[in-house]
Amino acid sequence: MQKRKLGKSNLEVSALGLGCMGLNSAYVPAPDRQEMIALLQAAVERGVTFFDTAEVYGPLTNEVLVGEALAPFRRRVTIATKFGFRIGPNGERLDGLDSRPAHIKEVADASLKRLKVEVIDLFYQHRVDPAVPIEDVAGAVKELIQAGKVKHFGLSEAGASTIRRAHAVQPVTALQSEYSLWWREPEAEVLPVLEELGIGFVPYSPLGRGFLTGKMDATTTFDKTDFRSGLPRFAPAALKANQALVTLLAAIAARKQASPAQVALAWLLAQKPWIVPIPGTTKLHRLQENLDAASLELTPDDLRDINAAVARTTVQGARYPEHLQKIVGR
């Protein structure tokens, strides 16, 4: 597996990471725990060194799973986790955000224990908290870095101004936000700021929460407990309208003797050398398929064809319902 550095930092990771949220949360049915431990360890064996989790996934249990699975490989891997949501005393998800400095430090201590590590490699603010100045957030993480509990500071779904303000207090190593062939908003303002400041970019949902794999159509349905069931982009009418994008992607994939998913990931990798996508999967064969995308070379002509094809399609449906949309892109 090729390696990439996240911006100007000294954090070098595999060109593709593994998003761990779906290993035991957000999607149904929930996979077998031992199988997911085996999947994580298989990823390490295949060269993956970058793993992404968060306190709120589960909540709490995803960090435990990742920590247990990766304990034998601690010196070989980079584990990123996140703070910023409210979680109750019994591990239940509560409404609202909480990035108060005292809470950030509490979360860090708890995450260290769940992950079975002595230091958090990359600590993201999961969502920008309008009640707490970003300078205070960056300052709290800076103190954690000085205390040896955290190595690198990250932001998730932050806007350009917020990134600049945070970076002035504590250098930001990476921004994690949604970015893919069907969500290209970061290109307008965020990517130029990251390039200017030397910050790496970690796209989540690089396969459009599974849509860009070509395995869905207008008849696809989701269990009510599946996160996608509440997303406008996965409503039947939107799924039907958005098939045009997958059809175009599949045509290019056939020409490259690759899968649509591989083309979508290779396209992301081709955008900037400091971009590291983190596709998630619960299946070993999908893991291998995704990792093979790192060796798929897209020529300038391929990239022009892909961009031209995408330009001819209009993606239907908002990526989040209104109440969630309010806390992204701040």
Catalytic residues: 57
Would you say 56 and 82 are in contact if contact means Cβ atoms under 8 Å apart?
Answer: yes
Residue 102 CB neighbour total at 10 angstroms: 9
Would you say 111 and 149 are in contact if contact means Cβ atoms under 8 Å apart?
Answer: no
Would you say 82 and 125 are in contact if contact means Cβ atoms under 8 Å apart?
Answer: yes
Dist CA 164 CA 227 (whole Å): 31
* Residues β-bridged to residue 77: none
Three-state SS for 81?
A: strand
Dist CA 180 CA 114 (whole Å): 31
Would you say 52 and 23 are in contact if contact means Cβ atoms under 8 Å apart?
Answer: no
* Residues β-bridged to residue 24: none
Sole residue written with tokens 């390490």: 44
Segments in 120-206 forming alpha helices (H):
134-146, 160-169, 190-197
Would you say 98 and 327 are in contact if contact means Cβ atoms under 8 Å apart?
Answer: no
Q: How far is CA 328 from CA 112, 235, 313, in A?
A: 26, 21, 24
Rounded to the nearest angstrom, the gap between the alpha carbon of residue 161 and the centroid of all alpha carbons in its chain is 21
